[in-house]
Copies of this chain bind each other. A is one copy, B any other.
């Protein structure tokens, strides 16, 4: 599945789109690599996955490359999505501009808190969780961003599955149990924090247990 390559794609897209914004018509792998502090060979190998073909001595056609990366990730046609759990993180994600550019369009939020239901957050309506199945079907939404408290994660995920969600972007620390056909991706902030903490610790005290 080439997960490491897939993870690098959005950063390539950012660099290439900036080049486009600057009016450049081509960009080379070494150029992209320099901007991202990678090796050129990594970029070439990764870009090959998108099916793009470059020109020796010149690089890649910027327009083509944007289309190739977007196509590879499925970011051409943006998908509508729900945010489920409108706490501070959920609300922040509802307001995040930039998802549009990443194939994601958040159309509504869901919660059970009467203080939130019926109001809007960043211009998007918040509905009661119980209405999700109905609205998912009506609006043809198959993607959900899960930002409920830990204790609610599994039961709410089951509601989402029931409602026809095919993909769940899981921001809780809970490993979800869902049917095989439902795709889940856990966004694990504590994993990132662990890497930062451990690196810091090793820098300050290089003689601690391990490296």
Enumerate chain A interface residues (CB-CB to B < 8 A): 1-3, 6-11, 14, 35-37, 49-51, 71-75, 79, 87-89, 91-92, 95-96, 98-99, 102-104, 122, 143, 166-167, 169, 173, 175, 181, 183, 185, 187-204, 209-211
User: Is A193 a contact of B92 with CB atoms below 8 Å?
Assistant: no
User: Is A199 a contact of B175 with CB atoms below 8 Å?
Assistant: no
Q: Smallest CB–CB gap between A58 and chain B, Å?
A: 23
* Candidates B122, B181, B192; contact of A185 at CB < 8 Å: B192
Tell me, in angstroms, the Cα distance from A73 to B190 when the chains sit together. 11
* Candidates B122, B185, B200; contact of A183 at CB < 8 Å: B200
With contacts A181-B203, A210-B49 taken as known, whether A169 is within 8 angstroms of B196 at the C-beta atoms is: yes
| Binding site secondary structure of chain A | helix
* Candidates B73, B192, B204; contact of A198 at CB < 8 Å: B73
User: Is A10 a contact of B92 with CB atoms below 8 Å?
Assistant: no
* Candidates B91, B183, B187, B192; contact of A169 at CB < 8 Å: B192
User: Is A210 a contact of B2 with CB atoms below 8 Å?
Assistant: yes
User: Is A167 a contact of B196 with CB atoms below 8 Å?
Assistant: yes
With contacts A51-B209, A88-B91, A192-B185 taken as known, whether A74 is within 8 angstroms of B10 at the C-beta atoms is: no
